[in-house]
Amino acid sequence: MVPTSYYVGLSAVLFVIGVLGVIVRRDPLIIVLCVAAAEVAVGLAIIVAIFRLRRRLSVDELSLMRG
Amino acid sequence: MTTAGQIAFWILAVMAVASAAGVVLRRNPIHSALFLVVHLATLAAFFLKMRAEFLATAQVIVYAGAIAVLFVFAIMVLIPGREETGPDPLRAQRLFAVPVAGLLLVLLAVMLRSTLFAGAGPAQAVPGGVANIGRALFTDYLFPFEVTSVLLLVAIVGVMALAKRRLA
């Protein structure tokens, strides 16, 4: 199996690429596009983090906002 | 020892990073948008690999479907065929962008290593379950679900009002 740290590391790389796009590009529409890409990377990281904490993924058990 | 899961992870990881780089590096906005579609589809494959079937489906329908179409439409209507060419007025500042992004990556890595990775085991594949999510969404979380729909309606009406005022 792939360690969860790989997933989190990958999301960090994707997030930084998104941030780089926001800094570098000039077109406002492209900047929004890069924000969307970075945001999805954060979503992936959140899912993996929940996965790691709980060892299983069920929305029934995610009513707590703390670890 | 490499398993099929690890091979799939690395193929998907290379695709995700390459398509993300494509979004940032291509000068033509349409090419950027199409690379974003590839990128979002790759992330959907990641969700599927972690047995989060509902998220994978939602990712394809909402992001790779609706949002990608929205971007392509907006690009074609607003900036037909225009590319980012010509002298860059902020070139000196943009040269700093790459080192700054590298620094951010290092900071993120240090932060994640110190907190999240402590004692991280291998990810375990378990059935996520579209049925569970649907049941929870329409029983325990029915009120937030309906509030979200009203919020989206407010957003739609707001967009219509803003666009209308600009035309008039």
pLDDT per position as a tens digit, B68-116: 888 888 888 776 655 666 666 667 777 888 888 888 888 888 887 777 6
**What DSSP letter does each residue of B62-101 carry, written as one string?**
IIIIIIHHHHHHHHHHHSTT--S-S--TTHHHHHTHHHHH
Contact A33 B6 (CB under 8 A): no
| pTM of the predicted structure, to 2 decimals | 0.75
Contact A37 B23 (CB under 8 A): yes
| C-alpha–C-alpha distance, residues A39 and B151, integer Å | 20
Q: Please write the tens of the pLDDT for every residue from A20-39.
A: 888 887 777 778 888 877 88
B20 contact A CB<8A: yes
Give residue A18's pLDDT band: very low, low, confident or very high (50, 70, 90): confident
Residue B20: is it exposed, middle or buried by C-beta count within 10 angstroms (0-12/13-18/19+)?
Answer: buried
> Which of B 89-148 lie inside 8 A of A, CB atoms?
94, 97-98, 100-101, 104-105, 108-109, 112, 116-117, 120-126, 128-129, 132-133, 136-137, 140
> Domain-by-domain residue ranges, chain A?
4-64
Give residue A67's pLDDT band: very low, low, confident or very high (50, 70, 90): very low
CB contacts, 8 Å: B106 with chain A: none
Residue the block writes with tokens 């959907």: B44
Contact A8 B112 (CB under 8 A): yes
- Among the listed residues A13, A19, A43, A22, the one whose alpha carbon sits nearest the alpha carbon of residue B62: A43
More reliable by pLDDT, A38 or A2: A38
Is residue B8 scored above 80 in pLDDT? yes
